[in-house]
Structure formats: C-alpha cells, structure tokens
Structure 1
Amino acid sequence: MNPDMLVLAAGTVQSTPFLDRLAPARAAGFNGISMFAADFEVLTAAGITANEVRMRVADAGLVLTEVEIVGNWLPGARHKVGLPDWLVALLDRATPDYVIEMAASLGAQGITVGEMFGIEASYDCAAEAFAKICERASDHGLVVALEFIPTGGVATLNDGWEIVRRAGCDNGGLLVDSWHFFRSGSSLELLAQLPPTAIKSVQICDAPAIAEADLDDAMVHARRLPGEGALDLSGFITALGASISQVPIAVEVFSDALAKQPIDEIARRCAEAAHRVLQGDVK
C-alpha cells in the first residue's frame, strides 16, 4: 500500500533548517513536508517571505501539508512542569489566528491543533473552541486536524473523537499519531469504527513495548523509526482502513539519536521504514 501523500514531518528533521530539508525529502521519495510555526518564524527573521517559501517547496516537487501546531485554544492556565520555557512561549503565541494566517500565506493544506499544557475542558467546551478554529480555517480552504496527546488535556482517541464529532465541521477531523495512540492506551477497535472522514492526518513512528517513565521526555527525544520498536503498527494500519490512502501519512520520529545523522540519511531511512510498514512488512 502506497499512500498518495507520504510526508517528512517537521519533528523528524527539526535540527535541519527548513529549506535544507526539501531536496533530501524529495530525493528519498517523499511528496509532502510539514512545518512548525517556529520554522517559519526563523525564515521570516532571515528575511525570507512566505511567497518565496511557497515557490521553494513547489520547485522541490513537494506539497506543504501542515503547519503545526495551534497550542493556545482552550481557556485555562498555560503552565506545565517539564515543558521548556521556549516551548511554552511558542505554544502560547500559537493561537488559531496566528497559525491559520501563517498556513494560508504559505499555501499549506491545513493546520494541526493540540493541547500540551494539561488544560482540561468539557467535551462541549472543547468542541465549541475547535469548531471556531475550523470556521476560521474554512475561509482559507484549510483542513484542521486535532491531535490527541497522552500528556495533555485531550489525551486519547476517544477524547479527540468526541470533540471532533460534537464540533461537526466538514474540514475538521483527527490527527492520529501512532506514538500518542499506543501510549494513551487508545483502542484499535474504536479506531476501526471511525468513519474515514473523521481522520485528516496520520503520523507514524515506533517505540518500545513498555512505556517510558517520563512520557513528555520520550515523546520529543526517544521515538523510533517505524518497524524498529514493538508497537502494533500492523494493527494500527489495518484499523485505519480506507483512511490510510486518503490522508497525508507523515513519518514523525522525534529522536535525538536519529537527528545526529545527515539529513539525506534521515530522509532515506524514514521513507524506507514507512514503506515497509505500509506494505505490511513488519511484525
């Protein structure tokens, strides 16, 4: 099974300047790439315009699938022990309007939304906030993908689906990340029951069978390439069903060890690992 849009995720290659990721991504066989809001901030600080970024991405034969991540969208205190100050500051300024305007200027297909501060809200409250984001994004033709994160206030697939379902927006859906899925104890049965339109984006990586003691740390430092851990990625891909061929499939491997390798090698290994998983060549 080959996805229509295989994406090299920003988190996998965050130590490499954005424009330097483009040629290696395409050479490795990726046809999409994602971007952090912080990536664009670095580019604009260097005097590089959104229009220039759009042209460089297109010239490389790639599509900018997502700008990540709206982190300031639920009411509540924005502080969490364990998050570095720079990340707290970034998430705090990454409001819906900020990221939507950025994504629209860059010609991205969509944006992602996540909750990392640990702010808890009722499903109805979160659905109302999510629906407002979707409404604003629809004015620019953007898709909005809600990512559930086990250490945040929207922690599981069930949580994310309840918010998306109650919001009821055609351009809104879920971002299902294999690391978040398994580390949150989410259900393959529920995943398989979701309508294909519920899922707007997928991210894959791997991890050891036993969950790490510090999930926040492991989430951003110690993931593994697809097929090099013990997660049931075969079951995960099967449960996604028809969605797997209809949405961007990103390889997102936050890994200090992988990041030490040259960008060309990282891109090649990620593409090869993704294809093995998608073709069912994993245990």
Structure 2
Amino acid sequence: MTTPRLGLAALTVLDTAPIPQIDLAERHGFDTIGIRLLPAAPGTTAYPVHQDRRALADLRRRLDDSSVTLFDIEIIRLAADFDVNAFEPMLAAGAELGAKAVLVGGDDPDRARLTDSYARLAQACAAHGLVASLEFMPWTAVPDARAAIDIVSHADGPARSVLIDALHVDRSATTLDDLAAIPRDWLHYAQLCDGRMPRPTDDAELIRQAREERLPAREGGIDLAGIWATLPADLPVSIELPNEPRRRAVGTDAWLEHLVSTARDTVDSVGAEQLSAH
C-alpha cells in the first residue's frame, strides 16, 4: 500500500520560523514543510526570507542537511491589482529552496480578470519548476471546486493545479463528484484537518474556524474518508491544522505527535479500503 508523504503546513505552527519548523518536522516524522513567505492578511505572521539573502542562504543550508524537504510556499493572492512581476523574487526563492508548489488564493471578484491573472501566474510558476495550486475557499472569489476547475482550465502548461483543503470542501458547495472531476495531473497535494459541526453559516465564523480552530482527523464531522477516497492514493498530504488552545494545552510536541498519528490512521485506512475493494 502506498503511503503518501506527510507535510507540516505553515499555519499549523505559524509562530515557528522556518528553520525551527524543520526541527519540528524532523522530530515528529513529517516528510515536508510549507512556509509562509507572504501574510494571508495584512499584519499577520509571515517569514519573507526571499527579501533577505542571508536568511535565504541559511534556510537553504538547513534544508540541504535535512531529510525534510520544502513542499509549498504561500500565499499569493490574486486581487484586482495583481502584478505577476511583483512575485518574481518569491517564486525564484521557492525554486532555490526546492519547493514544488505555490499556494494561491483568489480574491478578485471579476472572474475574467481573475482567470487571466491565474494564467499569468501559472506561466511564471512553470518557468521556476513550480505549480500554482489554486485553493478554493467559500468566502473568496473561488468559492468551490467547480470555480477552481473553471479558472485553472483556462491556463496552459504544467503549472496548472487545484489545492484541496478538507475544511473548504466541507464548508463549500463542493461535492465528491466535483473532486473526482478534477484532472489527476492538476492534483499535487491536499490539506488534511477535521472541523466542528454544525457548519458555520457566516463568513466571519468560517474564517475564524479555518484560521484558529481546526480539529484533528476524526474529531469532527467532515467526511474525510469520502474526500480521500476520491484522491490518488499517493497524493502528498499537508496537515493544516491551527488550534492554539489545544496546542498550548498539551504542548507543541505532543500536539504534533497526535496530528501525525490521526492523519496517518485516516489516510492509511482509506488506502486499505481501496486496496481491499480491488
């Protein structure tokens, strides 16, 4: 049975700088990390090593010495004033560090302009050997998988990519059939977490839970087995699971051990069911 690579997403330990994050990943059995180079919202935490050659070189040396690799960098938001050239230093740094993917959010309410911006970003990412993983989120201009598929389908080249986050699948109009309809070569990784029920009904609470109060696998009500059964068995998994009250209560090491254990159990059980079905 194929065991997918497991990643420690930036948001899970966002107070931890990239080099100490590698230490955590090594200690708890993660294969990869993701780092946040640009903030998700103004004033929030990020580590812009692409703006500091010394910091970038230090991080590259640390990765070179580790079995842990960098998988994704984040986050590029496609707003109305998107200028692909402004992100060139970030893409170049990601390539230098060995990243595979760039996490992309869509904010521009003009769908045609957003689609054009994504196509230009995908072209720039391809030039650096990266994929532009467009993440659908219900409060954004890319609210569900169908919207993401439509936008990505208008781009050309090898960088086309849709990022599946289990929380956003559950909180959006996305169906399992929608996930199954995503071309396999557009899938490069998926983010794993669980979530509280009942589902929030307003954007403010959707955002708060997504950024602050996700749950370990099988501790909420998301159909993780159904979601993962639609995905390739070897698709890399990123644990994106911010929950500071829980992390502080038990300590970071115990928390990450729990997240790895529950994620592995969930993904492996789906893989075993798929294997037995054949």
TM class, shorter-chain normalised?
0.7 to 0.9
Q: Which whole-Å CA distance do the structure 1 matches of 2:188 and 2:76 have between them?
A: 16
Q: Which whole-Å CA distance do the structure 1 matches of 2:51 and 2:183 have between them?
A: 39
> Comparing both chains, which one has the higher relative contact order based on Cα–Cα distances under 8 Å and sequence gaps of 6 or more?
1
Q: Is contact 1:51-1:105 (8 Å) kept? A: no
- Structure 1 match to 2:274: none
CA positional deviation for 1:50:
1.3
The AA in structure 2 aligned to 1:163 is I
What's the secondary structure of 2:163's corresponding residue? strand
- Structure 2 match to 1:99: 90
CA deviations over 1:64-101 (Å, ceiling 9, x no partner): 00111101x3326x9xxxxxxxxxxxxx9995324313
Give the TM-score, by structure 1 length: 0.83
Give the TM-score, by structure 2 length: 0.84
Q: Which whole-Å CA distance do the structure 1 matches of 2:257 and 2:92 have between them?
A: 32
Q: Does 1:262 align with 2:254?
A: no
Identity of paired residues, percent?
A: 24
Q: Which of the residues 125, 134, 140 maps onto 1:137?
A: 125
- Structure 1 match to 2:275: none
- Structure 2 match to 1:276: 265
CA positional deviation for 1:119:
2.9
Q: Is contact 1:179-1:205 (8 Å) kept? A: yes
Q: Is contact 2:32-2:69 (8 Å) kept? A: yes
Q: Which whole-Å CA distance do the structure 2 matches of 1:112 and 1:94 have between them?
A: 17
What's the secondary structure of 1:103's corresponding residue? helix
Q: Which whole-Å CA distance do the structure 1 matches of 2:88 and 2:181 have between them?
A: 33
The AA in structure 2 aligned to 1:148 is F
Q: Which whole-Å CA distance do the structure 1 matches of 2:156 and 2:170 have between them?
A: 26
**Aligned residue-pair number:** 259
- Structure 1 match to 2:47: 40
CA positional deviation for 1:126:
2.4
- Structure 2 match to 1:229: 220
CA deviations over 1:165-222 (Å, ceiling 9, x no partner): 1213322210100011111121111111222112122101000231124111111111
- Structure 1 match to 2:56: 50
5+ residue gaps, structure 1: 79-91
The AA in structure 1 aligned to 2:259 is C
CA positional deviation for 1:255:
1.3
Q: Is contact 2:50-2:90 (8 Å) kept? A: no
